[in-house]
A and B are shown apart, each in its own frame.
Chain A
Amino acid sequence: MQPILKFNNVSKHYPNGVHALRGVSLDVKQGEFISIIGPSGSGKSTLLRAINRLIPISGGEVLLDGEVISKQRGKSLRRQRRKVGMIFQNYNLVYSLSVVQNVLHGRLGYMSGIKGVFGIYSEEDKQKALDLLKEMGLEQFSYNRASDLSGGQKQRVGIARAIMQEPKLLLCDEPIASLDPSSAKTIMELLHDMTQKRNISCMVNLHQLDVALKYSTRIIGLSKGEVVFDGPPEKLTDEMIEKIYGTSRDNLMIGGNADEKADTADCA
């Protein structure tokens, strides 16, 4: 089966001399649920953002659905981008608009000039958006302003917007980093169920190792811009974790029993 996404020796260095990615190569197949883990500054966000060209890469190539996205511009780039949904840490909704309007934003990439500019959505799309909100358990908030929702609800709207795009790949940039534990659980379960049901590949940036282990079919460990681990969660040994984070597993848990003073300072 042809991979949805292919990284060929991708590198990225910023003008300030930081090498965010060094020779990253990987394939993503349909329906995979991939967690990307690694300490802050290891290049997790850069990796995700290189996929839909929010960040242009410096070397190598990114192939999305068999086409090189890393060189595309204008209309063909927009056509590629709509195949990739994205979910953000801070939800990034338009808070002055209604919940259903925010969900419908997922359709904008498919709409022609004038209709897109004035936001004239088809009845079919509107029905689909309402159905999706029902599936998310947000139907009673459909016509509320997005600013009225709680954090977990806002993130659910963010997921609905991304699903509305009918993507082949879903990118989640630390989707639960601003949420309380119970909302975080709901969101991870929704992400998992929605993508598995629709056979969408999902790539999630995570800070929480236990969450990554629980939901993913595959884990990618990044350290200083290089892929140091790529495999199923069962194979992620304690030594491997130490290699990714540069500290032992005990130190990753708050209140862990290892010598904290020395190591937590390093990984913070």
Chain B
Amino acid sequence: MSVNSKENILVLNSPKNKPKRIPVKCKQTNRFIPVFLIGVVVLSVLSLVYLEIDWIKMFSRIPQIGEVFWDLGHLDFANIDLIFTSLIETISIAVLSLLYSLILGIIFGMFAARNVFNIPFLSVITQSFFTFLRAVPTPVWVLLMLVCLGMGPQAGVAGLCVHTTAFFTKSFAQSFESIPDETIEALEVTGANKLTVFTNAILPAAVSQIVAWAGMRLETNFSECAILGMVGAGGIGFVISNSLQGYDYGTAGVAILLVFIVAYCIERIFVRIKKKFA
């Protein structure tokens, strides 16, 4: 090192040579980054080869994209009452599944967090079980619930609940674990039992994080609801897929626009709420 820097100075000072470029990067670079980038390139090429996408056909259809969106833009308010009732249905499914999952997520999150009961076995079992539930995508759960509970919104609520509860269990457990051990210690020395410590110290300290997670999840649930309608769980998705399949682009356009507006409003509202809690 020291020898190197001396040489550098010599080179810089000697009038014969042109001044060398001064290095600015760290000497120890992270080797993982180029490996990762090369890996991504290789995988993309392999995927392209495997999928055999017909690029010529795809580019020839590009003008169609414009046409479809042009048609969607010609909003048709003839079926507005149907759109509104199904939109409200979708919102209700999203809100109900969020509420049930919040309660379940707090309970299971309590078991999954390592610092509440201090039983590592219990945490590992709970976390692995919910990791399994989370690995299966929501539409699959909804389809399963459709088989079990029959067509209709109840299947949507149940299917969304499975995935949302699994998501909340993990994120709430993380929030609970981020509460400093000393705070828990302070309540334990008063002679309070573990459940009491949880409800009086850990839960109130985690409320702001729970609200943030809930807001984020309501947004996701709402947009997932739109997909769920297409598999038969009711709601606005059913209207969108039906009208698209029937080339009724005007109605579909109104429905899509409303989905966007509601999702945007949910986001804005929760940004406000989060600011209040922080």
Q: State whether the Cβ of A108 lies closer than 8 Å to any Cβ in chain B.
A: yes
Q: Give Cα distance in the complex from A94 to B191, angstroms.
A: 16
Q: Cβ of A81 and Cβ of B188 under 8 Å apart?
A: yes
A14 on interface, CB distance cutoff 8 Å = no
List of B residues within 8 angstroms of A165 by Cβ: 190-191
- Cβ distance A242 to chain B, nearest Cβ, rounded Å: 33
Complex Cα distance A92/B51, Å? 58
Instruction: Using A86-B189, A106-B190, A118-B199 as known contacts, say yes or no to A96 and B204 having CB atoms under 8 A apart.
Output: yes
Partner of A94, one of B188, B190, B192, B201: B201
23 residue pairs A–B, Cβ–Cβ below 8 Å: A81-B190, A84-B189, A85-B190, A86-B186, A88-B182, A92-B180, A92-B182, A92-B183, A92-B185, A94-B183, A94-B205, A96-B205, A105-B186, A105-B187, A108-B190, A108-B196, A111-B196, A116-B192, A117-B196, A117-B199, A119-B199, A119-B200, A158-B186
Contact B193 A116 (CB under 8 A): yes
> Could you tell me the distance in whole angstroms from the C-beta of A268 to the nearest C-beta in chain B?
24
Q: Which residues of A contact B208 (CB under 8 A)?
A: 96
Give the residues in chain A near B197, CB-CB below 8 Å: 108
Report B-chain residues with C-beta under 8 Å of the C-beta of A78: 191-193
Tell me which of A52, A108, A111, A118 contacts B187 (CB under 8 A). Answer: A108
B5 to chain A, nearest CB (A): 31
State how many residues of chain B have any CB contact under 8 Å with chain A: 22
- Which of B191, B195, B201 interacts with A110 by CB under 8 Å? B191
Chain B positions within 8 Å of A143 at CB level: none
Chain A positions within 8 Å of B190 at CB level? 81-82, 85, 105-109, 161, 165
Give the residue name and chain of the A residue nearest to B202 (CB): A94
Contacts of A116 in B (CB 8 A): 192-193, 195-196, 200
* Residue-wise interface mask of A (46-62) relative to B, using a CB-CB cutoff of 8 A (1 in contact, 0 not): 00000010100000000
Q: A92-B185, A109-B190, A116-B192 are in contact. List 15 more A-B contacts (CB 8 A).
A: A52-B189, A54-B185, A79-B191, A81-B188, A88-B182, A88-B185, A90-B182, A94-B204, A97-B204, A105-B190, A105-B201, A111-B196, A116-B196, A119-B199, A158-B186
Interface size class of A (residues with CB under 8 A): 20 to 34
For the complex, give the distance between the alpha carbons of A88 and B120 in Å. 27
Q: How far is the CA of A268 from the CA of B124 in the complex (A)?
A: 41
Q: Does B9 contact A (CB under 8 A)?
A: no
- Nearest Cβ distance between residue A101 and chain B, in whole angstroms? 8
Q: Which of B183, B191, B196, B204 has a CB less than 8 Å from the CB of A81? A: B191
A5 at the interface (CB under 8 A from B): no
- Closest Cβ of chain A to B208, distance in Å, is 7
Q: Which residues of A contact B200 (CB under 8 A)?
A: 94, 105, 108, 116, 119
Q: Digit string of A26-57 for contact with B (CB within 8 Å is 1, else 0)?
A: 00000000000000000000000000101000
Within 102-151 of B, Cβ neighbours of A (below 8 Å) are at none
- Write the nearest CB–CB distance from A46 to chain B, whole angstroms: 14
